[in-house]
Structure 1
């Protein structure tokens, strides 16, 4: 009998835009699954993308790749949702949530109806709020609905700190927590550089609190900067989706900051927010309560409050 790591692994990708196609390419390069079915309203585009992607199969992994429909989710292990619309000039976050919530409903309901009983992985924005809505629409246990959360923000923070401290990104242990958005924050009080407390190393290198605060601001603005220069961001979140997918499909017990459902951590519950969690074949195996400082706990609560208000207003 095959165990969880050996069984045939099938992924449904919903949304074949820049993020979706980058994710599919990353999965092919990293032996991510045995089969991937791509679903999108733009049928010709998906068919063309499948033809383009399958050309790399002989040089990467022998994945079965095809265009399909929501009914293909019946025996899938994982559904990855990248579909959604971006925010337009003059549009409020509530407007964006309302539009993408309607899109989610049109996706999630038929997938659940197909008999799907795997894990939902969401990257559509605003990701924490849409992950919350996906769980509510699906009725799935909270641990089987995950969002990419602050995994991308954390990568951006690690890159910025590596530049500032002149070390490899591999030697930075620091995370962005809270909402994937304006109310996120850098958990500097627990961060380390080359295994030593970040704030201690910062003092030695004459890196001030103002310098660290500016890095935090720059990390929040980086997505907008990339969009302004090239129209969209997709490589970072695609790799994040790939890593999370493999953790689920191969039962890897990977710790990443994701849109995680809080159940009392930091005095918060009934909301998804960027926080580290253990990811494996069951989805979210454990939500980790970080030993945050009082100031950081206040920031986490403020972030959660802002998101909860938007979720309630969208209902």
Structure 2
């Protein structure tokens, strides 16, 4: 009877292991392939571009390259410590996707607190290998050209998607937009009064900035600001002052504010090249190549005083 119980326990354990689909690697990493493509596996010195999503066991996303708008690149090197997720890379090839579970206790020294809000025993990484370029010397011009060509292709693909996304947003919202020569699209939803803002004027304004999917990333409006992931209750949410033409804001604002006057309200759709471009901003707050939309209200316009004393010009040293 006891022997039968042992056999049943072993069988149940094997079944559970098979069901979970996770294997154990050096350093205690647990991994499971979601997609396993054929092809050469990653070797030391290879260029690797991969998308990564970091979650906890409650399935809450803690970070994602998808939010940043582009995969993470690296030249693969053997990990220097046990439990590093890159230890799995030599098992992967281009197109593979894998889930990796890392015991949180192995990542922090004894007594060191876990990240705020962390739930569960494991950090979970979902990785998809987008591109592998066979190893070469980092100064090898051929190797470098292959990498450069790859990034150029990513950029071109992102730029092609942008106008499609903008047009869909405008159509879905049924906006009646006017397009400037530089590519800003705007609709004045409430006319103002007085002359338009000019370079040198100070615009006092309220704003809410969104991605085209509707996600609020910043606002001067307290109610809209509460929708921001990084909402700070200590911040004073109130109209801001922008000296137009002084380089304090993105080019989309520098140009767009010149279309408005006191009391006016408008919707702007700004292409990424006039916003945060290829770099984006923050940890995925604004992804790379992200067009943005803003609701703008001009509360006041402080006109430039033509009689104000000009700042002294620096004296240049004499030519030698």
Q: TM-score, normalised by structure 1?
A: 0.23
Larger helix percent = 1
Greater strand share, structure number: 2
Q: TM-score, normalised by structure 2?
A: 0.23
